[in-house]
């Protein structure tokens, strides 16, 4: 194409369209799924300033920060009282939130915080209802980078306003989340807004309209295979609602909390990576085993989650308790996860034709948990899966 044509209206439009995904990614506070740590799964209501500083230190010393885990997120129970002007202040567990933010930032990390659009939070602390602008200003003053905004106590308000009218309930939720997003924008500091409202009224269809960067699609996860399995595999079919700057969120990681086996935690990490889900560790970072570190810091698996194309993976096909999921990657390769949800070992043959390859076409393959290249696959891939285990491959022509 000649320069004159490129500089014409149609040529310029072509150039802008080619770079649109990149420009969109650079303009959003969450161009890839956020990665970091959240206090709730391990510390719950007992979290303190000291715990958060220790988590920040552990993210650095363990290598997790360098692997991409940069958010240090304080969940519920940090809130104190409001002053005469209505501005929120932390309670005695957090004597100086600005100093804490400065410490977290000095470690090359970002600070997250928690609130609710209701008058109270889940744990009964001060919520943001009627004080959205003041709270956003205070977060910006402290140096907060991320807000988890939990519907929780606002559910009564929602019932009062919408009753059983689902369309109206959606509009009410859209309004309360947009109100906080607009307040954060006006405060002048880039702050990721995380919608925590449990997937009500199919939030994946309208979450992006609020300005939120991610939205919970499920109820709370628990540290068990049954909970992880129910939540993770229920995300099938939601891929079209995710992309750079707006992510489906199946809740935090439970890896390392002790309720699952190694194979089950690997399946957990793999499924979240295939879902382009936020990777927010929820364990005690100061007491991680080497096994936990290996799972959380597998760079090849993290790369699947953080892939620049921003595609969420989806289920390709199933055979009873066996499931095959795929996720297109920016370099043209394909991430493929083969899960067994069965309690006994099973053999499985995966036809390459199910994944878009020719019957006699040799396909390059790398096992991302074994960290090794495999012989080219022709026709089908054979594997033996342990109970509740997974094989994660990166395939290319």
In this predicted model, what pLDDT tens digit does every residue of 44-91 receive, in sequence order?
Answer: 999 999 999 999 999 999 999 999 999 999 999 999 999 999 999 999
Q: How many Cβ atoms sit within 10 Å of the Cβ of residue 50?
A: 11
Q: For position 28, what pLDDT does the model report?
A: 72
Distance CA 330, CA 283 (A): 31
For residue 390, being part of any structural domain is answered with yes
Nearest to 41 by CA among 170, 313, 227: 227
For residue 384, being part of any structural domain is answered with yes
Bridge-based pairing of strands 192-196 and 146-150 is parallel
Last residue of a domain, one of 246, 278, 305: 305
pLDDT band (50, 70, 90) for residue 7: very low
Q: For position 3, what pLDDT does the model report?
A: 37
Would you give the DSSP letter of residue 311?
P
Q: For position 22, what pLDDT does the model report?
A: 38
Residues 276 and 386 in one domain: no
Residues 287 and 242 in one domain: yes
Q: pLDDT tens digits, residue range 210-243? A: 999 999 999 999 999 999 999 999 999 999 999 9
Active site residues: 150, 220
* Number of Cα atoms under 13 Å in the Cβ half of residue 323: 22
Q: pLDDT tens digits, residue range 34-48? A: 999 999 999 999 999
For residue 5, being part of any structural domain is answered with no
User: What total number of domains does the chain contain?
Assistant: 2
User: Sheet harboring 192-196: ordered strands across?
Assistant: 247-249, 214-216, 192-196, 146-150, 110-115, 71-73, 35-38, 279-281
Does residue 180 register a pLDDT over 90?
yes
Distance CA 203, CA 212 (A): 11
Alpha carbon 215 to chain centroid, angstroms = 9
Alpha helices in 44-202 (DSSP H): 49-61, 64-67, 97-106, 132-142, 154-162, 166-187
Q: pLDDT tens digits, residue range 124-154? A: 999 999 999 999 999 999 999 999 999 998 9
Q: Which distant-in-sequence residues (6+ apart) come within 8 Å of 17 by Cβ? A: none
Distance CA 255, CA 219 (A): 18
Residues 87 and 187 in one domain: yes
Average pLDDT over residues 186-208: 97
Q: For position 4, what pLDDT does the model report?
A: 40
For residue 6, being part of any structural domain is answered with no
Residues 234 and 369 in one domain: no
331 versus 17: the higher-pLDDT residue is 331
Residues 33 and 54 in one domain: yes
Q: Cα torsion at 346, 367, 332, 396 (round to 10°)?
A: -80
- The rounded mean pLDDT for the chain is 93
Residues 175 and 238 in one domain: yes
CATH number, domain with residue 252: 3.20.20.70
Q: For position 29, what pLDDT does the model report?
A: 86
| Helix, strand and coil percent figures for the chain, each rounded to 5 | 40, 25, 40
Q: pLDDT tens digits, residue range 168-177? A: 999 999 999 9
Last residue of a domain, one of 258, 278, 305: 305
Does residue 14 register a pLDDT over 50?
no
The pTM for the full model equals 0.92
Average pLDDT over residues 254-283: 98
Q: For Cα atoms 25, 27, 30, give the angle at the middle one, nearest 5 degrees.
A: 60
User: Sheet harboring 314-319: ordered strands across?
Assistant: 314-319, 322-328, 334-340, 390-396, 363-367, 372-377
For residue 13, being part of any structural domain is answered with no
Residues 153 and 297 in one domain: yes
Residues 211 and 106 in one domain: yes
Q: pLDDT tens digits, residue range 360-376? A: 999 999 999 999 999 99
For residue 167, being part of any structural domain is answered with yes
Residues 293 and 349 in one domain: no
Show the domain range for 121: 26-305
Which phi and psi (to 5°) does residue 283 adopt? -100, 175
* Number of Cα atoms under 13 Å in the Cβ half of residue 142: 29
Residues 357 and 259 in one domain: no
Q: For position 65, what pLDDT does the model report?
A: 98
Distance CA 197, CA 150 (A): 6
Contacts of 180-183 spanning 24+ positions with Cβ under 8 A: 180/117, 180/128, 180/132, 180/136, 180/147, 180/149, 181/210, 181/211, 181/212, 182/211, 183/132, 183/133, 183/135, 183/136, 183/137
pLDDT band (50, 70, 90) for residue 12: very low
Residues 190 and 281 in one domain: yes
Q: Are 214 and 195 in contact (CB under 8 A)?
A: yes
Last residue of a domain, one of 305, 326, 359: 305
For residue 4, being part of any structural domain is answered with no
Nearest to 105 by CA among 68, 58, 71: 71
For residue 8, being part of any structural domain is answered with no
Residues 83 and 145 in one domain: yes
Average pLDDT over residues 268-292: 98
């Amino acid at each position: 194409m000649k320069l004159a044509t490129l500089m014409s209206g149609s040529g310029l439009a072509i150039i802008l369209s080619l770079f649109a995904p990149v420009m969109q990614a650079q303009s959003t506070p969450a161009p890839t799924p956020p990665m970091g740590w959240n206090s709730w799964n391990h510390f719950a209501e007992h979290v303190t300033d000291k715990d958060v500083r220790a988590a920040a230190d552990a993210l650095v010393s363990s290598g997790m920060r360098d692997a991409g885990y940069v958010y240090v997120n304080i969940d519920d129970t940090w809130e104190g009282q409001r002053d005469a002007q209505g501005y929120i202040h932390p309670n005695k567990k957090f004597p100086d939130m600005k100093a804490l933010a400065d410490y977290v930032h000095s470690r090359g990390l970002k600070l997250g915080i928690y609130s609710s659009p209701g008058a109270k939070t889940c744990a009964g602390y001060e919520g943001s209802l009627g004080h959205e602008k003041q709270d956003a200003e205070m977060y910006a003053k402290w140096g907060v980078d991320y807000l988890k905004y939990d519907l929780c106590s606002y559910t009564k308000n929602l019932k009062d306003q919408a009753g059983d009218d689902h369309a109206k309930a959606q509009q009410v939720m859209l309004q309360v989340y947009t109100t906080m997003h607009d307040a954060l924008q006006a405060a002048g500091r880039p702050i990721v807004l995380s919608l925590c409202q449990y997937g009500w009224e199919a939030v994946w269809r309208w979450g992006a309209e609020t300005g939120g960067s991610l939205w919970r699609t499920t109820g709370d996860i628990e540290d068990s295979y049954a909970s992880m399995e129910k939540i993770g595999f229920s995300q099938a079919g939601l891929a079209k609602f995710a992309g750079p700057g707006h992510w489906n969120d199946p809740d935090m990681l439970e890896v390392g909390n002790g309720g699952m086996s190694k194979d089950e935690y690997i399946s957990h990490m793999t499924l979240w990576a295939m879902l382009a889900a936020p990777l927010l560790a929820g364990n005690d970072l100061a007491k991680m085993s080497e096994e936990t570190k290996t799972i959380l810091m597998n760079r090849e698996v993290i790369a699947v989650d953080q892939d620049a194309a921003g595609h969420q993976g989806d289920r390709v096909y199933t055979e009873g308790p066996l499931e095959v999921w795929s996720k297109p990657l920016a370099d043209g390769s394909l991430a493929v996860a083969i899960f067994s949800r069965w309690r006994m070992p099973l053999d499985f043959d995966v036809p390459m034709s199910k994944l878009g390859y020719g019957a006699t076409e040799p396909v390059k393959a790398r096992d991302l948990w074994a960290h090794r290249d495999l012989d080219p696959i022709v026709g089908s891939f054979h594997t033996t899966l342990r109970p509740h285990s997974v094989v994660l491959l990166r395939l290319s022509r």
